[in-house]
A and B are shown apart, each in its own frame.
Chain A
Amino acid sequence: MAKTSSAPRPFVKSSNLLSIADLSPTEIGALLDLADTYADDTRKGSKHGKVLKGLTQINLFFENSTRTQSSFELAGKRLGADVLNMAVSASSLAKGETVLDTAMTLNAMRPHLLIVRHQSSGAVELLAQKVSCAVINAGDGQHEHPTQALLDALTIRRHLKRLEGLTVAICGDVAHSRVARSNIALLSKMNVRLRLIAPPTLLPSGAENLGTEIFTDMREGLKGADVVMMLRLQLERMNGSFIPSAREYYRFFGLDQEKLAIANKGALVMHPGPMNRGVEIDSIVADGVQSVIREQVEMGVAARMAVLDALSRNLDTSSKAGS
Chain B
Amino acid sequence: MMARNPAPTSERRAYVNARLFDPARQLDQTGGVLIEDGVVKWMGDAVTRTSLPEGTNITDVNGALLVPGLVDMRVFTGEPGSEHRETLQSASKAAAAGGVTSIVIQPNTQPVMDDASIIDFVRRRAQDTADVRIYPMAAITQDLDGEKMTEFGLLKEAGAVAVTDAVRSVRNSKVLSRAMKYAGNFNLLLVQHVEDTDLAGGVMHSGESATRLGLPGIPAAAELISLERDIRLVEMTGAPYHAAQISCAASLDVVRHAKDRGLPVSCGVSINHLTLNEHDIGAYRTFFKLSPPLRREEDRKALVAGVADGTIDVIVSSHDPQDADTKRVPFSEAAFGAIGLETLLSAGLSLVHSDQLSLERLIEAMTDAPARLLNIPGGRLEQGGNADLAIVDMTAPWVVDADLLKSASRNTTFETRALEGRVTETIVGGHSVYKLSDH
Contact = CB atoms under 8 A, between A and B. Distances in A.
B285 to A, nearest CB: 9
B202 to A, nearest CB: 9
Contact of A209 (B208, B215, B283, B329): B208
A80 to B, nearest CB: 33
Nearest to B216: A142
B209 interface: yes
Given A121-B284, A205-B206, A205-B219, A126 B211 contact: no
Interface of B: 206-217, 219, 283-284, 325, 328-333
Most chain B Cβ neighbours within 10 Å, of A140, A143, A181: A143
Contact of A206 (B211, B329, B331, B333): B211
A122 B213 contact: yes
B332 A141 contact: yes
A206 B328 contact: no
B329 A143 contact: no
A261 interface: no
A120 interface: yes
Contact of B329 (A98, A181, A210): A98
Nearest to B215: A121
B269 to A, nearest CB: 23
Nearest to B202: A205
B213 A143 contact: yes
B215 A206 contact: no
Contacts of A21: 212
Interface in A107-132: 118, 120-123, 125-126
A271 to B, nearest CB: 20
A106 interface: no
Query: Which of B207, B328, B330 has most A Cβ within 10 Å?
Result: B330
A121 B333 CA distance: 10
A205 B331 contact: no
B209 A142 contact: no
B332 A121 contact: yes
B217 A118 contact: no
Contact of B208 (A126, A141, A178, A210): A210
A284 B207 CA distance: 38
Contact of B211 (A98, A99, A118, A204): A204
B208 A206 contact: yes
Contacts of B328: 98, 100, 126
A86 interface: no
A122 B284 contact: yes
Contacts of A100: 328-329
Contact of B331 (A121, A178, A209): A121
B233 to A, nearest CB: 29
A40 B18 CA distance: 80
Contacts of A120: 330-333
Given A100-B328, A122-B283, A123-B330, A205 B217 contact: yes
Contacts, number: 71
A84 interface: no
A213 to B, nearest CB: 16
B196 to A, nearest CB: 16
B330 A118 contact: yes
Contacts of B284: 121-122, 125-126
B211 A205 contact: yes
Given A121-B214, A122-B284, A126-B284, A205 B332 contact: no
A36 interface: no
B213 A121 contact: yes
A84 B333 CA distance: 28
A87 interface: no
A120 B328 CA distance: 13
Given A121-B284, A205-B206, A206-B209, A126 B214 contact: no
16 contacts: A98-B328, A99-B330, A121-B215, A121-B331, A122-B330, A122-B331, A126-B284, A140-B214, A143-B215, A181-B214, A205-B219, A206-B206, A206-B207, A206-B209, A206-B211, A209-B208
Interface string A132-163: 00000000111110000000000000000000
Contact of B214 (A98, A143, A207, A210): A143
B215 A142 contact: yes
Contacts of A141: 214-215, 330, 332
Nearest to A122: B284
Contacts of B217: 205
Contact of B212 (A99, A126, A181): A181
B208 A144 contact: no
Given A206-B208, A206-B209, 12 more contacts: A21-B212, A122-B213, A122-B332, A126-B328, A126-B329, A140-B214, A142-B215, A143-B214, A144-B214, A204-B210, A204-B211, A210-B212
A142 B213 CA distance: 8
Interface in A201-217: 204-207, 209-210
Among A144, A181, A205, the most chain B Cβ lie within 10 Å of the Cβ of A205
Nearest to A119: B330
Closest 9 CB pairs of A and B: A143-B214, A206-B208, A122-B284, A120-B330, A142-B214, A123-B330, A121-B214, A204-B211, A209-B208
A61 to B, nearest CB: 15
A41 B206 CA distance: 46
Nearest to B203: A121
B283 A207 contact: no
B341 to A, nearest CB: 27
Given A120-B330, A120-B332, A206 B210 contact: yes
Contacts of B283: 122, 125
B329 A99 contact: yes
Contact of A178 (B214, B219, B329): B214
Contacts of B331: 120-122
B216 to A, nearest CB: 8
Nearest to A178: B214
Interface in A192-232: 204-207, 209-210
Nearest to B333: A120
